[in-house]
Structure 1
Amino acid sequence: MATKTTFAPMLIIPNGITDVSFYTKAFGAEETRRFSNDDGSIHVVEFSINGSTFHMHEQWATKLVSPQRAGASTVSVNIFVEDVDAVVEQAVAAGAKITSPVQDFDYGYRQGDIIDPFGHCWQIQKEI
């Protein structure tokens, strides 16, 4: 049986985080599993947005650190949605900050960029 290749980003969060409800509120993500530490903080959370999986993982002793610890993010997670304006507004209401307002680009996309409460960059977009 062949395995289907999929892409599932793992976003690093600071240790001690207990609330990642931003993703449910902002993007309608469904939490599919959670592994907690003894103190109730998150070790790993798995989310699904319309069947696409991503993970949140606390920092650990490797070269993977949260954007807050690094002082920047080196990646943007891009999601395609039907209504870019509505999703950006929903994300802002949930705690995101706009870094580039929603606009149409001559290369055929409507896009807006946000930073989530943990410092991860997201580009919300659709082909026009």
Structure 2
Amino acid sequence: MQSNRSAPSATVIPVLSYPDVRAAVDWLTAALGFRERVRIGEDHRAQLQVGADGAVIVADRGRDGGSDDRHLCKIRVEDVDAAFARAVEHGATVLEELTTRNYGEREATVADPAGHRWQLTQTVRDVAPEEWGGLSFP
């Protein structure tokens, strides 16, 4: 699978929404040992790493959904077009059509029959976070 400096390398990446991104990052790093790897705006998102291959994205709740919509799981796949077609064929509700992002990922978001949100993502090119306004940490 192609790597991208703008995206975590883990296969499954929870996206957790918080009312205060910076406070959540501070707590997760201090209490659980996460390390911030990419910051997207001061209060929009942050990508955190833990251990050798663990990852989580902390997102601003105001931008990513209300109080009943606090999480999403990203799944890194080899062929996002095929994975998206398969999910739809099996009854997934399309929440966001396939889109190629400026940060090097091609993504689509679906909901399963229970309403859980899944974002399917494939790296299409390696992009430094600074190229689209992010900030990376060594």
Q: TM-score, normalised by structure 1?
A: 0.43
Structure with more of its chain in helix, by fraction: 2
| Higher RCO, Cα 8 Å, sep 6+ | 2
